[in-house]
Chains A and B, each alone.
Chain A
Amino acid sequence: GAVVSQHPSWVICKSGTSVKIECRSLDFQATTMFWYRQFPKQSLMLMATSNEGSKATYEQGVEKDKFLINHASLTLSTLTVTSAHPEDSSFYICSARRNWREGETQYFGPGTRLLVL
């Protein structure tokens, strides 16, 4: 089956620093990747849609200068949380869309837990 990996799985950083999270589709090419944020015991909130070779599309209320997304290749998208603050602490999940025999399917990464001190 299709596998999506994320690195790192968890990160602790100081307030004001930047953190980069990588999302890779390991055995398929993903023209579209998605970044979600999940708070404890809550649903996944879509932050942005990342298309290979073009600018990401951000959801309403998500600061594009705060959450920089780069989709440099068909297998890699990165999310950089710039000048992180404690309120950015969360669980960040990426997913990659793959064309499948009966339509498109999204596969999810294991998530990255970010703690900003």
Chain B
Amino acid sequence: AQRVTQPEKLLSVFKGAPVELKCNYSYSGSPELFWYVQYSRQRLQLLLRHISRESIKGFTADLNKGETSFHLKKPFAQEEDSAMYYCALIYGNKLVFGAGTILRVKS
């Protein structure tokens, strides 16, 4: 069963435009959700986790249990935000990743 769904393979926006990367999950209990980012030729790194409710590099994500979503948002995209973004869920003590969304920020 698909646990984490990222419906968009590619999201292309202009610099300064708002960004929303979608993530929906399937989990019966209280989910522990993350966003990871992978910049070109760099390792995967944690961007944020829902339990800490912090904002990193201007990105925020709110857990919506009613819609089972954990969308990643940023009000004004910057060129350096271009990367691959993965939504992930802890399931059975393992981290399960979505398919990922490539974000391209155009100047």
- Please give the residue numbers on chain A whose beta carbons come within 8 Å of chain B beta carbons, in ascending order: 34, 42-44, 46, 49, 93, 95, 102-103, 105-111
Contacts and interface: CB of A to CB of B under 8 A. Distances in A.
A110 B43 contact: yes
A108 B52 contact: no
B106 to A, nearest CB: 19
Given A103-B32, A109-B43, A43 B86 contact: yes
Given A102-B51, A102-B52, A103-B51, A44 B46 contact: no
Given A93-B44, A111-B43, A42 B52 contact: no
A46 B92 CA distance: 13
Contacts of A34: 94-95
Interface in B30-61: 32, 36, 42-46, 49, 51-52
Nearest to B54: A102
B83 interface: no
Interface string B64-107: 00000000000000000000001000000111111110000000
Interface of B: 32, 36, 42-46, 49, 51-52, 86, 93-100
B52 A49 contact: no
Contacts of B42: 110
A42 B43 contact: no
Nearest to B98: A43
A103 B49 CA distance: 10
A89 B36 CA distance: 24
Given A102-B52, A106-B46, 11 more contacts: A34-B94, A34-B95, A42-B100, A44-B97, A46-B95, A93-B44, A102-B49, A102-B51, A106-B95, A108-B43, A110-B42
A97 B98 CA distance: 19
Contacts of B96: 46
A43 B100 contact: yes
Nearest to B84: A41
B94 A49 contact: yes
B97 A43 contact: yes
